[in-house]
Amino acid sequence: MRIHRRWQIALPLLLGAVLAVPASAQQQLEPADTVAPAPAKPAPAKKPAKPKTTPAKPAEAAPAKPAKPAEAAPAKPAKPAEAAPAKPATPPNVGGVKPTLLGQYGEWGAYTASPGGKKVCFAIAKPTSSQTIPPDRPRNPIYMFISTRPAEKVSNEVSIIIGYPFKPGTEASAAVGATSYALYTQQDGAWIKNAAEEALMVDAMRAGQSAVVKGVSAKGTQSSDTFSLKGLAQALDRVGQECK
């Protein structure tokens, strides 16, 4: 079993009708009462002249001009919402030294530090989702590290800070896709049990979508933490450039 240097961890700074009114009625005229005059010899009646009337030509109604339909203004496409950039995980101090951010790549930050003059580089992320049984159990900050320590000839070592003391003598697991890797535990830390599988796990994480870490606390709480692997490959490349 490899001996892992425990890093001193400081808590990070942690979410409105119109009614046509008809025309006035025609008045009916009543004839007035008159006194009859003495009869007179009537004059020969003249044949009344036949009135010449020219019927009025009805006015032709002008054809109604169709109303021009209003043209609808083209809808302006909504501007797509821009995804908020991932917030870098605030890593704990390394040997009492605050790490320096080399770059943020998706969910993963690439950092370096030199505690005691020995350069250390690592990629780090926090889980994108966490569940416990029983639910909502309090935990300290949770991290996954992949570290490189040239002075110790260590490259791409996977470790997890789980946020509670593991149940003594128990193992944890980390699943990438359909492959699960056993982890041995000590206090609140976990490392891959079979060193020969470590490089395989890192390669799977580079190409994968997520890693799920499961464990049991000293009080019997079961936890499941999901880490997005978006940006991990770029973060590891940056770590490799800094710590050769």
pLDDT given for residue 87 in this prediction: 58
| pLDDT at 103 > cutoff 90 | yes
CA distance 119 to 242: 9
The pLDDT confidence band at residue 225, using thresholds 50, 70 and 90, is very high
pLDDT given for residue 90 in this prediction: 72
Which of 35-49, 87-101, 109-123, 216-230 has the lowest average pLDDT? 35-49
Which of 35-39, 200-204, 210-214 has the lowest average pLDDT? 35-39
Mean pLDDT across 180-191:
97
CA distance 221 to 138: 10
Are 9 and 92 spatial neighbours (Cβ–Cβ below 8 Å)?
A: yes
pLDDT given for residue 38 in this prediction: 36
Contacts of 177 (CB under 8 A, 6+ apart): 204, 208, 209
Q: What is the pLDDT of residues 1-45, one digit of tens each?
A: 444 444 433 333 332 333 333 333 333 333 333 333 333 444 444
Highest mean pLDDT among 23-27, 65-69, 186-190: 186-190
Q: How would you label 124-147 residue by residue, b for 16+ Cβ within 10 Å and e otherwise?
A: bbbbeebebeeeebebebbbbbbb
Ordered by where they begin, the domains of the chain are 100-242 (2.60.40.1880)
Percent of the chain with pLDDT over 90: 58
Mean pLDDT across 81-100:
67
Are 12 and 141 spatial neighbours (Cβ–Cβ below 8 Å)?
A: yes
Strand partners, 120: 113
Overall pTM surpassing 0.75 (yes/no): no
| pLDDT at 59 > cutoff 60 | no
| pLDDT at 163 > cutoff 50 | yes
3-state secondary structure of 237: helix
Contacts of 236 (CB under 8 A, 6+ apart): 110, 123, 146, 156, 202, 206
The pLDDT confidence band at residue 161, using thresholds 50, 70 and 90, is very high
Q: Residue 15 carries which side chain, given as an amino acid letter?
A: L
CA distance 119 to 139: 30
